[in-house]
Amino acid sequence: MSSLHPRDLIPQDFDIDAFAALIDRPDPAIRQDARERRRRTAVPQAALGRLGELGDWLASVQGQAPARPIERARLVVFAGDHGVAAREVSVHPAGRASDLARAVLDGSAPVSVLAHQYGAQVRLVDMALDCDPGELPEEVVRHRVRRGSGAVDAEDALTAQETVAAFRAGMAVADEEADSGTDLLVLGDVSVGGTTVAGVLVAALCGTDASVVTGRGSGIDDLAWMRKCAAIRDALRRARPVLGDPVRLLAAVGGADFAAITGFLLQAAVRKVPVVLDGVVSAACALVAQRVAFRAPDWWLAGHVSGEPAQAKALDRLSLEPLLDHGVRLGEGTGALLALPLLKASAAFAAELPETGEAGG
């Protein structure tokens, strides 16, 4: 007889392993066609630097060469509170991520300013904010799984059923965006305590110690850093026994926003919609998703260097090189959004530079 409580049982109709077969790599032949076309332009092969390589990548994920212009970019921001924030690991008060979320909604957040400047639509998805759902628009809260996630250093973040519900919510958001014609997804997150949770996942999946992945997050001082490191260390003890099961790992030491982002990343790859990752939270979720489907990272780009050591660790494991390093630590998807003009430029060069008929030097 099973000793598992019903809340720990994963729904029988949920098969996370199916993603490994559903996700293909972008077509390497199209990438090669784009590269060959680039060689036939009047611009010397090396002159465009990484912009040329980005154009080749865009062609492969779009399934055509040359790449077409990016016309419908969407920033999707997943939001949630984390119980571990009660350990005073952030400069923001525990349970107050809703304040940050409202700033995204009313346009006063830095990421909202950039999105307006770059012509990207913004979508906020509340997965586990610690506020009354009536305080936010219905469209924002309709995927919410619970009010706040558990403190991962001492308890599970979610039940197995909540984890699957959040994962499916992320999949649904990816499907909605793909169906609406979004051609580039920019990933963001809003939370209090999120970088602590991300540090736990990265340390667990990379087999490293808490001190190696503990960063300054929202700008914490030395005492808060020590509290954060201790919380990650304690949560790691809870993570290691479930490392082989992504669903149980996300339930034990993740959160509703982390499960949703993981599902979002995998389903976006199934739907062949490219995603630009932001900081350490999206990198940690990408690391979990890679464990599920090893080909999925080919559909993602790392937007920037966030300064969090756990992000650097995760991106190294994912073999993703960040596009930008400007010292920006704002979060919310700001760093990923700053990469959008580069991607638009690379697409424009790929589509509009005329061919000369001869290979460039």
Look up residue 79 and give its amino acid.
A
Tens digits of residue pLDDT in 159-171: 999 999 999 999 9
Region 70-94: mean pLDDT is 95
Identify any residues that bridge with 302 across adjacent strands, giving them in sequence order: 277
For residues 145 and 328, what is the distance between their CA atoms, to the nearest angstrom?
31
Query: Considering the entire predicted model, what is its pTM?
Result: 0.94
Place of tokens 């990933």: 187
138 Cβ partners below 8 Å, 6+ apart?
A: none
Sorting pLDDT into bands at 50, 70 and 90, what band is 127?
Answer: very high
For residue 359, pLDDT over 60 is answered with no
pLDDT single digits (tens) 320-345: 999 999 888 788 899 999 999 999 99
Query: Which domains does the chain possess?
Result: 71-344 (3.40.50.10210)
The burial of 222, by beta-carbon neighbours within 10 Å (0-12 exposed, 13-18 middle, 19 or more buried), is given as exposed
The yes-or-no verdict on residue 360 having pLDDT over 60 is no
Provide the annotated active-site residues: 332
